[in-house]
Amino acid sequence: MEITPPKKSAKVLDTVMKPSYVPIEERHASYWRKDAATTLKSKLKEKMNTGKAKNGILFIGDGMSLATVMAARTYAGQMEKALGEETSLSFEEFPVCGLAKVSHRAFSAFAERSAIRDTCNA
C-alpha cells in the first residue's frame, strides 16, 4: 500500500476535514467495489447458527454514542499506524450483534428493567 506524503496546510480545518495521507488505491471506486464484494461473499459463506442459545450476554455501554464509538475506532486504528476508519473494535466482531439507541440514561435504565420504552422522547 503506497501512502502519499502529508502536505503542509495553511488552515487547521484542512487537516481535520481532508486527511493528507490517503492510500492511492483507496482513491478509486473500483477499490471500494472490490472490497464490498469480498466482504459480501465472506458474509454469505457463513452458516447461520440455528441452535438454541444456552447463555446470553447483555452488553450495555453507557456514553457510547455512534460518534463516540467511531472516534474510538479511528483512534485505535491511528495508534496502529493506519487511517483508523477500517479498524474494528473487539465488540464489533461479535458473531451476533444488535443496536438499541435510547435517548437518555434514565430512560435506558427504565427500558432495561421493565422491557418498556417510555414515550416521553426526552
Cβ proximity of 116 and 122 under 8 Å: no
Quick one: 108 exposed, middle or buried, by C-beta within 10 A (0-12, 13-18, 19+)? middle
Span between the terminal Cα atoms of the chain, in Å: 47
Binding positions for Mg(2+) are 62
> Which residue ranges make up the annotated binding site?
62
What is the signed CA dihedral for 74, 99, 101, 105, rounded to 10 degrees? -80
Binding site as annotated, residues for Zn(2+): 62
